[in-house]
Structure formats: C-alpha cells, structure tokens
Chain A
Amino acid sequence: MPSHDVMPNMELYQPVMLDDAITIAERLGDRGWLVGGGQDTYGWLKDRAKATDALIDLSGIESLRGVRQDGDTLEIGAMTTLTEVATDPVIRERFSLLADAAAIVASPQIRNIGTIGGNVSQDVRCWYYRRGLSCYRAGGNLCYADTPEGMNREHALFEGSRCVAAGASDTAPALVALNASMVIRNSGGGREVSAEDFFVSPARDILNTTIMRSGDILTAIRLPADWRDATFYFEKVADRNVWDFSLVNIAAAFRLNGDAITDASIVCGAVQTTPRRLRNVENAVRGMSKDMATAEAVAPMATAGARVLAHNGFKVPLMQNLVKRAIAA
C-alpha cells in the first residue's frame, strides 16, 4: 500500500478574474479541480487517494471575497474565509447563526484559510472512502461502513443509500436553516439554487455531495431576509473542542411572538450526507411555547426514521437532546 505526502505533479492555474476561471473550468472539464482554501483538496491529492490533471486555484479572484448587501439580501463571496464570516459585523448582527457555525469549524488555522465555499463543497469524511477504498462513492460496488462490523461511529442515521457517510460541514446546516441560496456560475451563465437543493443525498447522486458539476463554480452564498434578526441556536458536539468534525450539530432559527413560536427552521448536521431539515419538528413547535415542556415533547420526533448502525446509536439521543436544547434555550 503506497503511502504518500508529497504533492503529485499537476498543472496549476491561478486566474484572477472569474470569467477566466470559468473558461478554464469549462475547458478542463473533469480534468480540472477547483480549489479554495485547499483544506479538503490537499489531503485528497497528497494522499493520492484522488488525482487530478490540473488545479484551478480560485484564491486570486478578489470578486469572490467579502460580504456585501444586495437589497434585502446579504451576499457572501464563496472565497470569504470562515474567520471572516465568523467575525463579519453584519453577519454577526443579523445572522449570528451562521457566524456561530463558522466560528467553530475545525481550528483557528483552518478557519483562517478555509473558505465558506469550500466548507459547503467539501467531500464527506468517511474514513474508508478517504483511505481510497473502492466503495460506492468512489465508483466501486461496496460500502465498508454499513456492515455489522463496520467502524461507523461517525456515520449517518438517515438516508443511507449505498453510502452512510455523514456530511462534514458545520456551516451547511446553518445555511439551510437560513434559507440561503447558492450562486453558481458556468460558461452557460449560471443559476441560483436553494441551499437545501444544493446538497444531494447518495440516493440521488452517489458520487457527489452537491449539485455542482464540471465547469460550475460556486461564486457566492446569499442570505435572504427571511430569518434576519431571528432567535438563533447553534451547537456543535464533537469529541474535541478544536479541530474535530461534528458528531452531531444543530442550527435553528425561531420567530417568536412573546413566548410562542410562530415559525421555526431546524436543521441537524452530521446525521446524514446532507443537512437534515427537521420539518416534522418545525411543524410541531409552531404555535407552541418555546420552553422545556415543548422541547421534551417534540425532541423524540427528531429521530423518527433513524437507522442505527453498529456504533452510531449514540447519535439518536444526542440529536434529540440538541433539538431539546435548541427549543428550550
């Protein structure tokens, strides 16, 4: 078994204009690999578990950076670092849910170089897949984790379909909860899709975790006013308090009238490949008091339909407890 840590030879493109990047991405097609902060990419390439002919480095494109107001919408450039998202005063004031999520991704060093676009586009962290095994997601015909003896403590409770890898992003649940939309550009122009539709389950596409395809570039994330200044709750539970992926996380937004919940958006991460929106819980809490009684009554609904693997059963009570805390907070 070869073990590597030296970057393989490949072409490197460093465009400074978005249009040039789009042209290069279109021309290279599947031969090209977009890289933002590189915190997902370089592991794949240095381990040589995945390979590419050419890297398209987006870090030189200034127009992809920063936070700007566009009417009622707040637009975040895809290359904005997680540290910048976590500390941006406007995001902190209006959408602290996202700032809180970004602030607890990985470690300070990774947040300083990792981007919001990269964080939502990153691949899953199933250790079998990352080791380069030929699983379904890698184009093979086996899932090593979804077996009675699989080492699947971090894996998914829901929507496993040939793959039970859990999503790794901490910001993704927050973006889904905030009804964010993702701006995608390509040589044909582009499109804007909701965050909920941006992430795709293995049942729909076993090879990709997002709807992005060759030639697409995620350029920005847009936050509508829907949940601006709402009552937010974000919590991440990981083994370590720094430099760890979530065992389960939760992002929730509430509109209140007094103590009563008039609307709610509740999303859990790390329980399936995509952020899991808990619509049954949202429906159940509308009109209810935002208190412990409501929380305890609805929390078990959060895990309805969960399929527990050999080692991830703890995620069921953990997910319920996080839902309870989000509502009771």
Chain B
Amino acid sequence: MLNFLFRKEHQLEKLIYDYLENLGMIQNHFTKAMNLCLKEGVSDDFCFLMDQTHKFESVADEIREEINQLMYSKALIPESREDIMGLLEKVDEIPRSFEQILNMSRTQKLIFPDFLKLDIQELIRVSLESCDLMIKQIDVMLKKKEGIKTLLSTIDQNESHCDHIERRIIIKLFDSDLEPFLKLQLKEMVIVMGEISDQADRVSKRVNIINLKRRI
C-alpha cells in the first residue's frame, strides 16, 4: 500500500540485484576467456570474450553509478547507505582484477607453460567459487537469512587455499628454466589472480561486520 512512498528503496533493491547478476555475467565471460587462453593462447575468440567481459564491466560501473545517485538522493537510512556504498566499492575491485588479468594476457601475449596450467586452472576455479559464495553471502545479508558465518568460513578457507596454490605456482615458476623476463611476467599475473580470492575474502568479512552491526 505504501509502495509509492518507498519507490527509491524498491528501485535500489532491483539495481543491487542487477549489479550482482551482472557480476555473475562478468565472471562467466572471464572464465570462458581464461579457459580459452590456457588452451590456445590469445586468439580472436579470446579477444571477443575479453571485449564481452569489458562490456559487462562497463555495465557494472553504470549500475553502481545509478546506485550511488539513488543513495545520494536519500534512499535507505544513512547507516545502510554508507554500508552498501562501501560494500559495492569493495566488490567492484573484483571485476577490475578480471579485466586486468585479461588485459595482461592480451597485451603481453602471455603463453602459460604446460607445467603451470593445472595449478592456474585450480587457482581460477577456487577464486571464482569464492566470488560465487560472496555474491550468495551478500544476498543472504540483504535478505536477512541464516548462513553468513558458514559462507564466511568457506570463503576464508578458499582464500587460504588460493594462497597455497599461488605460492606453489611461484615456486614452480622460479624452479623452472623459463626466461627470467617471462618468469616475472607470469609471477605478476599469478599475484593478480590471487588478489581475486583475497578481495572476495575482504568483502565477505565486511558483509559479516555489516550483519553484526545490524543485529539488535
């Protein structure tokens, strides 16, 4: 009955879910692009998928901008405004990492050596699993459902697992006979990949704090 009075809140809710859905799309394209890159290096199909990832990343920026404008026009109570804006700012670091990885692969024409491919696939898989769980955790927080702590602990475990894989890859890399310049290039790439699960973990911890703050 009072829906017309709280139009901004409903609009905001829709935009936040659009943002999360779009994040899923970015993730999908990033996964496909990376699988292709690992399989056949930088190709036309890879470039197409990279462009698609960039397109969805731009959509994410537009949605975030719209969300911020709604917030500045006083949707939600001040405390929630601050929480949501801060949270989305942190979440937004993840698609940036996706783009950075794809850009590095394209511009530096990186070719992953076979002895690293399995570990890199594993690193990407676990990192993306963390992102999925993080999106789920945000939904749980917004809908005030149970399970935030379980998700927090799984994301935390994933982050630590990713750290192990990252270290393993770097050790293997510097034990190998690859050219030193390529070693440094790949090391930089692996560090950016590892950043995905770190960021998902940071977002997850923030979600947990927001949830605790809202508990009365």
State yes or no: do A and B come from one complex. no
